[in-house]
Structure 1
Amino acid sequence: MKNTITLKRDLSLSHVVTMGLAWMSPMIFFTSFGVLHDSSGGMLLAAYALAFIAILFTAASYGQMARAFPVSGSAYTYVSKAMNPFLGFLVGWAILLDYLFSCIVAVLMFGVNLNAQFPAVPSSVWIILLTLIVMIINVIGIKPLANISKLFVFMQILFIAGFCGLLVYKALEGGITADLNPLAAQEGVPFSAILAGASLVCFSFLGFDSITTMAEETKDPRKTIPRAILLIVLSAGVMYFVTAYLIQLTAPGFSYVNVDSAGYELMQNLGGSLLAGIFTFVIIFSILSQGLSSMTTVTRLLFVMGRTSLLPQRFASVHPKFRTPVFNIVLMSIVSLSALFISLETAIKFVSFGALTAFLFVNLSVIAHYMIRQKQRSPRDILFRFICPLSGAGFVLYLIALLDSASLMLGAGWLAAGLVYYGIRKFVSSSKESPAHVVTES
């Protein structure tokens, strides 16, 4: 009898948390500082507070579904089992956009940043180099990858802690002149502006869902995955809140020349060229860790879709030595090289559409599974398994409505391609199952 080779269950709670934070990249606070500061009318802390409350509903829904179905597959698995397999395929196809293009975004940003530091070396060289590094580390095994991600995440947290320490020192040295109220409104800033800022800030929390694809490589996933989701969102929230508050106290009137490089300008303003140089160094490694985690996420989703025959069985293969889906890793590494010719703006639009679609249906799947199928309707269930996920779904719908027409068109085109693929796959499958010959009576 042939033994089935499975993924290796190696990940502890700390591994899973750091893998999620690596995908999220805490340094995104600085890389998106200018855009988010402008969109919220300078009320960045208030925008982060609103976004945190809103995203917490969806994070709780992922935790609920991870307990019910402690297997890999993320939104694809949850919606398939709780609602409908066909709907699950569409959601899985949509989330594939998020996970796949996150890899492309990571290698593209790596190339852009390194090219800015070393103009003599084309960005294409850095893109190919990072793709090879990410591929090799992912092939070797999940635990070495998780340990590397842990190191890079620790590097980011250490930088953020040091930066906050510098802000505290400057605040005490120069005297605090700003309002100590963390949510103090600036004159002339309407609540609608803060809400608009919060809608963009939500994307700083993307990544907590990625760890659900690693359930079959996690020890005791039924408990570990929900705990990790909560820790990831809370950790990110604390880092964002504290940093935004201290900037508000220390540099309330800070202005920047270029919205895209506002974070770098902030470093130069507060710490000179030394801090700016360290900042750039940490950013590069944060992008590397995001690329590693993104590759893990997309290859595990493909693994589950291959195992359920929605993709060819080849996608469900596991290397006997490394216990990783090597075929998926190599294939996705090749796809990641599309960063050589795709624009960053287009890639980000695909990520946004895929993530929000998955968030919407995971919230709804909680209601479908617990309230409808399991008929769990106690007052506690109504609060946590109906009102909370419904609130999460409502906010996600609001975010989807804010996407520009190009994002919606790209997403619709991708779903249409998925429907065509699904139809062809089902037709081929039914043809194979039909009798190959006619049986006649004797």
Structure 2
Amino acid sequence: MSESVTAPSQPGSQPELKRVIGPKLLLFFVVGDILGTGIYALTGTVAGKVGGAAWLSFGLAFIVALFTATSYLELVGKYPKAAGAALYTHKAFGIHLLTFMVAFTVMSSGLTSAAAASRAFGGTYLQELVGEFSNGTTILVAIAFLAVLAGINFRGVAESVYLNVILTCVELSGLLIIIVLGFMAFGEGVADASRAFEFNEGNTFNLVIGGAALAFFAMVGFEDSVNMAEETNDPPRTFPRALFAGILITGVIYMLVAFFATAIVPLNVLGESTGPLLEIVKIAAVGFPLWLFALIALFAVTNSALINLMMASRLIYGMANQKVIPRWLGNVHPFRRTPWVAIIFTTLLAMGLTTSSQISVLGGTTALLLLAVFAIVNGAVLILRRDPVSHYHFKAPTVFPILGIICCVYLVIPGLSGRPAIQYIVAGVLLGIGLILWLVTWIFHGRKTSTIDPTQLSEEPELPPEMRR
């Protein structure tokens, strides 16, 4: 491992970020970053793959996330910089191309996640408010949705961490409504617990693994909390409690929602719906205003899509600004001070994904991309044990990163994870675009452009740190 691969910041070059985030705010940020499109849109799809016991797949996804979270906690404690997986990869392996591909993979996961959210936006929840329309119209709505978000992205969105608390509460309220209705359904005899323990035909282990490969999409987001490291009070001590508590809270909520969904809604209805949680409300609470729950769900997917599009465009800007991809992708608008070319580029890619793939494919591809990154991060934490630091930090039990590597790789390998080939094709196309951009820049501008400093990737013209996802 080379200690010189990451250029240190120059003393006095700029003031440090203000440390204003305490344990409670960080907990809300973690929970808010995990909540979103996955549970609102894909619960039914997971149930369709596994059967009534879909909650087991969410439980397995929760365990895998927990293993990987211990690695992130050790690394963010050692290197409290807002750079995340790219920084850890760079410090562990010192290979610029690998660092770039990790950064581009994270960016690509943001695009597939935003595209999945756009398809969910144009699905059952919106149609509950405006009436049913065709699949072709759904795609047009999804494209228009992304165009509107691109406009917001272009103007520049300045949300504070405190507003994130409000947004999290709204998203969380929808899931708590489902849990309350679930308990009520059992009390009124509407739910059938036995259905939540049934499996589809096939090998039970493979069914649960296949469901977890998709359900993991609902757990992603916890890793983005490391971008708050430079603004958190005493991160080595604050992060472990907040991150573990956040993953535990969301994991339990997701498993309860999945359990109630299959116990209340017939599987043939649940598996076909793009608004599975709305189906629970229809059966468990006849008098509940469906439009209100649909509105909450639309808010959840909108917030998720916007944050992911902003993260993707800022990563492209950061890479272009370092000249590892064509420099014109980093052009900044003179008046709005936002990376307008990167916004257009990432939005067009997201639109292409929206028109060519279903929600399940996009969600599964997001999980696939991030699981690959997590496998590298779990490996990096073990390698970086050779790089001790003098200050206190959380240290993961060695078995956890090892189990994290095994689980992540297992859920990535074709044939073992039960993923359809289309997810690998979509991921391959996106990463191929990144590799082509890298090679074109290298060919035309020489070897010196192939170096990348991951600590600079998150620097952007006008994006608050809490919106870097």
TM-score by length of structure 1 reads 0.77
5+ long unaligned stretches in structure 1 = 434-442
The answer to whether the 8 A contact 1:101-1:347 is kept is yes
CA separation in 2, counterparts of 1:397 and 1:80?
20
CA separation in 2, counterparts of 1:76 and 1:293?
19
**Which residue matches 1:440?**
none
Alignment of 1:12-411 (within 5 A): 12-26=22-36, 28-86=38-96, 87-112=98-123, 114=126, 117-118=129-130, 123=141, 124-136=143-155, 139-143=156-160, 146-174=161-189, 178=193, 190-192=203-205, 193-247=207-261, 251=264, 255-256=268-269, 259-261=272-274, 262-272=276-286, 274-299=288-313, 301-302=315-316, 305=319, 310=324, 326-328=337-339, 331-332=342-343, 335-341=346-352, 342-343=354-355, 344-345=357-358, 347-348=362-363, 350-370=365-385, 372-374=386-388, 384=396, 386-401=398-413, 402=417, 403-411=419-427
Q: 1:39 to 1:229 in 2, by over 3 A?
A: same
Superimposed CA distance per residue, residues 228-273 of structure 1 (whole angstroms, 9 cap, x where no aligned partner): 432331121121133334456x638665276234433232121237
Alpha-carbon shift at residue 6 of structure 1 (Å): 7.5
Alpha-carbon shift at residue 175 of structure 1 (Å): 9.0
Bigger shift: residues 350-359 or 114-123: 114-123
The answer to whether the 8 A contact 2:217-2:363 is kept is no
Q: Over the residues paired in the alignment, what is the CA RMSD in angstroms?
A: 4.1
Q: 1:171 to 1:227 in 2, by over 3 A?
A: same
CA separation in 1, counterparts of 2:191 and 2:347?
47
Higher share in helix: 1
CA separation in 1, counterparts of 2:446 and 2:432?
20
Alpha-carbon shift at residue 166 of structure 1 (Å): 2.5
The amino acid that maps onto 1:35 is T
Q: 1:37 to 1:257 in 2, by over 3 A?
A: closer
The answer to whether the 8 A contact 2:190-2:284 is kept is no
Bigger shift: residues 103-112 or 64-73: 103-112
The amino acid that maps onto 2:210 is A
Alignment of 1:423-438 (within 5 A): 423-426=439-442, 428-430=445-447
The answer to whether the 8 A contact 2:44-2:272 is kept is yes
The answer to whether the 8 A contact 1:75-1:92 is kept is yes
The answer to whether the 8 A contact 1:73-1:301 is kept is no
5+ long unaligned stretches in structure 2 = 1-10, 451-469
Q: 1:256 to 1:184 in 2, by over 3 A?
A: closer
Partner of 1:399: helix, strand, or coil? helix
The amino acid that maps onto 2:81 is V
Superimposed CA distance per residue, residues 277-336 of structure 1 (whole angstroms, 9 cap, x where no aligned partner): 2221111100122123324433554465467654578989999999xxx43477326632
